[in-house]
Structure 1
Amino acid sequence: MMDLNWEWLPLAVALALAFSMRPWRMLRDGALATPLLASLVFFPWLWALPRMHAMPIPLILSGSCLILLMLGWPLAVPVICLIAALSGLVAPAPVELLVANAFWIGVLPASIALVLGALLRRYVGPHVFVYTLGRGFIVTAVSTFGASLLGEWAGAELPNIEPTLVTTAHWMMAWGEAFMTGMLSAIFVAFRPQWLATWSDNLYLHK
């Protein structure tokens, strides 16, 4: 995806901050074990897909914002880094590429989504549609596209894409990520709310 060498620094800072919050405490009751294990099994294949098949437009669906909603930021950060590492076992890649992917398509959009989600809840209010449509769909699209623009500004390139069309390609892929996250978050709210660490019946349903 890109050939940069400095992403390890913000990635290390994010990991240190996440571990300082002792994210393993969120696994005590076992409710998040299923989404965590499912993320580690499913998403490495999506991350590795652009390296496994030559496609006119590389399909990049990281699931980072969905992982954020399921696990919360402190637990999502190390899980995202582990997903990046596991994707290197599925489809071998240089360590520099795996670190860059962990930051640009994983931790960065998840962190942006955390901030935007908090602002949305603060200024719009805690309602179920704020969570599913706002955080699950709109925030995911904005966060993914924003992180892609930052990566593009930092020198990221998409293979087989004309430089003038890179921004358009990022915009289209951001909406693909948004549809996936919005749809699954709505399903989980309805049928498996215990799989969403960021969901609360008392807060969003005013119980």
Structure 2
Amino acid sequence: MPDGLLPIEWIGMALLIYLYLMYRAIRHAPWKRMLEPATFNTFLGACVVLLVIWSMRAGISPGMSFHYLGMTTLTLMFGWQMALIGASLVLFGITLNGGAGWHTFPVNILLMGAVPILFSHWLRGQLERRLPLNFFIYVLGNGFFGAGLAVALSATVTVLVLLLSGTYPMSRLSYEYLPFFPLMMVPEGFLNGMVTAVLVGFRPEWVHTFDDRRYIAGK
């Protein structure tokens, strides 16, 4: 979202929520593991890839843009704490390049980062508790379906913010944004699912939430 789109009260509220989440993320992040050279380089590489992906977007009106998020894969690879930190770095780069507003930074990071990240983290926990630990459940449940639902939730929250803040009426949102929900969910799920399957198949050590001894051994 560009600057000047939302009332200052909404930006202030988003800033408080973002600062609280960042405090929790920084405090509970697995720093010992992240400071290992291989893991750190993988994390930086993932952020660079996301920076390129987030730079490619389309939209009709300000605040209603469409692009891949990739937050589900980032969450599965590094956990929600580092995923939020990584998303913040990516958005900082996008904003520095003029692709978003500085004043709306907390709103943008919550909508494009925190919402899909926390949902992906919650869904993974639910799948682990309620379904058997299985390779295909991990990839399909978290990667394909989880990513699709995460981007749908992100878009839904975006609609609510634009509507409740008085930025756009429902008639305009239902015409310019809501019809494209399926077009956002399917490619997001396919991209994250494909990347997740490749990573757990060939580079499982890059996916911190995946343990092949639990998901594959003896299955």
Q: TM-score range by the shorter chain?
A: 0.7 to 0.9
The answer to whether residue 103 in structure 2 is matched with residue 96 in structure 1 is: yes
Whether the 8 Å CA contact 2:72–2:147 is kept in 1: the answer is: yes
Say which one has the larger Rg. 2
Alignment of 1:1-207 (within 5 A): 1=1, 3=6, 4-5=10-11, 6-50=13-57, 58-155=65-162, 162-165=172-175, 166-206=177-217
After superposition, the C-alpha distances for 1:173-205 in whole angstroms (9 at most, x for unaligned) are 122211110000000111111111111011111
Structure 1 distance, partners of 2:140, 2:29, is: 30
Whether the 8 Å CA contact 1:31–1:194 is kept in 2: the answer is: no
- Aligned residue pairs: how many? 203
Q: How far did 1:120 drift?
A: 1.2
Q: How far did 1:67 drift?
A: 0.7
Gaps of 5+ in 1: none
Whether the 8 Å CA contact 1:45–1:87 is kept in 2: the answer is: no
**SS of residue matched to 1:154:** helix
Structure 2 distance, partners of 1:54, 1:147, is: 15
Return structure 1 stretches of 4+ with deviation > 6 angstroms. 53-57
Measured at CA, do residues 184 and 7 of structure 1 come closer, stay the same or move farther in structure 2, by a change above 3 Å? same
RMSD of the TM alignment (CA)?
2.4
Normalising by the residue count of structure 2, what TM-score does the alignment of the two structures yield? 0.82
Structure 2 distance, partners of 1:22, 1:178, is: 26
Measured at CA, do residues 43 and 202 of structure 1 come closer, stay the same or move farther in structure 2, by a change above 3 Å? same
Whether the 8 Å CA contact 1:34–1:195 is kept in 2: the answer is: no
Moved more, 97-106 or 135-144: 97-106
**SS of residue matched to 1:198:** coil
Q: How far did 1:76 drift?
A: 1.1
Normalising by the residue count of structure 1, what TM-score does the alignment of the two structures yield? 0.87
Whether the 8 Å CA contact 2:115–2:153 is kept in 1: the answer is: no
